[in-house]
Amino acid sequence: MSLSYSTIAWAASVDKGVVENVSYDYRSKTTSGNVLNFFTALGDVAFAYAGHNVVLEIQATIPSTPEKPSKGPMWRGVIVAYIVVALCYFPVALVGYYIFGKSVDDNILLSLEKPNWLIAMANMFVVIHVIGSYQIYAMPVFDMIETVLVKKLNFKPTRTLRFITRNIYVAFTMFVGITFPFFSGLLGFFGGFAFAPTTYFLPCIMWLAIYKPRRFSLSWWCNYICIVLGVLLMILAPIGGLRTIIIQAKTYKFYN
């Protein structure tokens, strides 16, 4: 699905051609605005390439022996996954900016406008993708909620409980998404605040604590550089994302 709608996006953009009076200048007219937009963009990239703790559950289901540990096929799977992600994002980003310049929308499908049937098809692919991926991404949250209800609040672990709690959570997230549709700002904010720690520097800290590499060795330096960059990303990206949300909120009218 990802390859389908991303290919539609950049291929339709190429077919459309460069728009009239395209501009490749910075969106903001001030240096501070451009810097904060850069921070938001860092958060967007962090969100796009962030890992997820479901990966650990997937690896746990792979048969593993001392002769054939599960990390082998898991590593190959991760490499392929990131290649596919790159094939989805890079053409859309490069072609979209070349065709529309700084006027490109956060959702490039909005910039295309025509043909309507192709845009509708791409959006349908997005919906199918989200319906499937949402179940995977939300699974740890479902598990956490149900664990609290059963172990802390003494609810019986029934299908009814699962049905009600999961539907309430889905309805709540849908309500939040409709009420606060600040797409780029939210991506930048959560990309830095939520995904930077779990993807970019906490794993490095755990690796250093477990394996204790020799100080100032190559692996020691690589991990500490990732930690420093990850911490900076966690601090700076939410600042840019929050600023973007505030700017968008000034002209936004709820449910209008």
pLDDT tens readout for residues 186-218: 888 888 888 888 888 888 998 999 998 998 899
Q: Where are the beta strands (DSSP E) in 96-246?
A: none
Distance CA 174, CA 179 (A): 8
Distance CA 86, CA 91 (A): 8
* Biggest CA-to-CA distance, the chain: 64
HSE-CB for 215 with a 13 A CA cutoff = 0
Distance CA 97, CA 242 (A): 23
CA triple 129-133-137, angle to 5 deg = 155
pLDDT value for 75: 87
Residue pair 41/123 in contact (Cβ under 8 Å)? The answer is: no
- Give me the sign of the Cα torsion angle 119, 105, 45, 43: negative
Distance CA 29, CA 75 (A): 44
Domain ranges of the chain: 181-256
Residue pair 137/52 in contact (Cβ under 8 Å)? The answer is: yes
pLDDT value for 224: 94
Residue pair 103/111 in contact (Cβ under 8 Å)? The answer is: yes
pLDDT value for 256: 65
Distance CA 8, CA 123 (A): 10
Q: What is the pTM of this model?
A: 0.80
Using 50 as the pLDDT threshold, list the residues of the chain that sit under it.
none
Residue pair 13/96 in contact (Cβ under 8 Å)? The answer is: yes
Distance CA 185, CA 192 (A): 11
Residue pair 9/93 in contact (Cβ under 8 Å)? The answer is: no
pLDDT value for 115: 81
Residue pair 190/52 in contact (Cβ under 8 Å)? The answer is: no
Residue pair 236/41 in contact (Cβ under 8 Å)? The answer is: no
What is the DSSP secondary-structure string of 154-181? -----HHHHHHHHHHHHHHHHHHHHH--
Q: Which run of H or of E encompasses 246?
A: helix 218-250
